[in-house]
Amino acid sequence: MNFFKQLEIALCSDDVETKKQITTDLLAYCTKNDLDFVIEPKSWERPSYHKKCVIVAPQALPKRNRLDTNEGLGKMVHAITHIEYCAIDLALDAVYRFGFMPREFLIDWLVVAEDEIRHFVMLQDILHELGFAYGDFAVHQGFFEIAKQTENSVIDRMAVVPRYYEANGLDVNPQIVKKLENRRKERVVSKMIEALYVILEEEIDHVKKGDKWFSYSMQQKEGIERDCYFEILKKYNLLEKHRPHINVQARKRAGFSCEEIKILGAKEC
């Protein structure tokens, strides 16, 4: 098997079934074989979903404030479905771009990719039940852009993707559930709430993997302390982002220290 060529195919494809099959094959191969990192990773110019979705600036995204209507709910589900699609490519890109890391790193992010594929399929089914499909609403390419910005630094990638963006998802997820509570008796809404609980629990593990490899990467460099996390966030203009809700317990389970959680805005830990 040409391991990294298969990764390129998966990263360029907008077909999730293709991504799923390749991820399954790569995980089986990687579990049994050592890999020689002999490629120079490519830098993609467009995200894999560029033919499937209309890409706009974040401020031009459709409003998602009418969750009492099917269209409003559909827009919200679509936005989360897009996040999960991007998370597939981010996990695969970590394997592709940082293949020089220990084999356990590659296995971890292939497992994450499998989880994200399952999340995407689960949400896509709910989207279909609402009468929509992935690509029916505009999306932004912010996650693709952050992947490009961090493509030359594994420590930055681990800090920014799992320990920032995915960790923020731990904060936001329960707030979305609260907004859906008044429609819980509707079957499709109940399915969405159940999906959000599954995603929350599994994303804790993803952030924890990011924490593990952030710590590992930091230990490989002399003179770097753990608080470099906040210097990295500052470098990417992420440190001053407002966080009205911090999921303290989820973040602690995912590897964040109380000191970090308080710096991020929590009053108690």
Distance in angstroms (rounded) separating the CA atoms of residues 147 and 145: 5
Mean pLDDT for the chain overall: 93
Q: Taking a C-beta distance cutoff of 8 angstroms, is the pair 95, 110 a contact?
A: yes
Q: Which of 212-216, 241-245, 255-259 has the lowest mean pLDDT?
A: 241-245
The pLDDT tens digits for 169-188 are 999 999 999 999 988 899 99
Which two three-digit tokens encode residue 133?
């499909």
Task: Give residue 241's pLDDT band: very low, low, confident or very high (50, 70, 90).
Answer: confident
pLDDT, residue 35, reads 78
3-state SS assignment for residue 121: helix
The reported pTM is: 0.95
Q: Which residue has the higher pLDDT, 1 or 213?
A: 213
Distance in angstroms (rounded) separating the CA atoms of residues 21 and 175: 34
What residues does each domain of the chain span? 3-263
Q: DSSP E strands: which ranges in 46-124?
A: none
pLDDT, residue 242, reads 67
Query: Which residues are within 8 A (CB) of 263 and not within 5 positions of it... i.e. 6 or more apart?
Result: 230
pLDDT, residue 223, reads 65
pLDDT, residue 252, reads 97
pLDDT, residue 220, reads 86
3-state SS assignment for residue 220: coil
What CATH topology corresponds to 3-263? Ferritin (1.20.1260)
pLDDT, residue 158, reads 97
